Amino acid sequence: MAKQRPATLSVYLYIPNIVGYMRVLLNCIAFSVCFSNKTLFSLLYFFSFCCDAVDGWCARKFNQVSTFGAVLDMVTDRVSTACLLVILSQIYRPSLVFLSLLALDIASHWLQMYSTFLSGKTSHKDVKDSTSWLFRLYYGNRMFMGYCCVSCEVLYIILLLIATNQTENLMNISPLSLLLALSIFGWSIKQIINVIQMKTAADVCVLYDIEKQHKKP
């Protein structure tokens, strides 16, 4: 076991994983000032989100793709988005809207990860066998997936800033209005994807149970 420790430590010190630790730290700092300085929060939060693309690039560039890194990446994404949705649920009414979005996001991704494990696949993004063209497009095209994910985060940040009147006078400016419209469109697609993902993953779990029952003597 002692001989394996240096190898284990090396995985933790992979460049993309170090970027992942930085994302966690940035989010901790961001949420610590989310009520006292929402502009700083927005900058730190969005910078942490952008680092998501950096760690993925580093993993492929330096051939340091790891299961731990993938899990760290997804957990960081889900927890940070969940925290932001909780904050928005305290600002806007009815709060159930944002809490429902939180539940959908967590449930769909958790089911997708578990169904991937049951199917014996190495990545939750392997959906080539899905019957939904939109689902396949989402995970098969990084630009499209990136647009949808960025749209969600940008929309939530704009909603947070609007609530503090920091963008009240800017909402009439066409560039920001266009950004809001583009964000809403991408956000809508992402929610549809989450529903498809949850249903598809649930079907995999059910089929697994049925097949297991048929194998019983």
Torsion of CA 88, 93, 96, 98, to 10 degrees: -30
| Active-site position among 52, 73, 77, 105 | 77
Whether 77 is a known active-site residue: answer: yes
- Cis-peptide, bond into residue 175, ω within 30° of zero: no
Query: Which sign, positive or negative, has the C-alpha torsion 160, 166, 171, 174?
Result: negative
**Cβ atoms < 10 Å from Cβ of 144:** 16
DSSP line for 115-170: HHHHHT-S-TT--TT-S-HHHHHHHH-HHHHHHHHHHHHHHHHHHHHHHTTSSGGG
Q: Give residue 172's identity as a one-letter amino acid code.
A: N
Query: Which sign, positive or negative, has the C-alpha torsion 59, 72, 100, 111?
Result: positive
Q: Annotated catalytic sites, by residue? A: 77
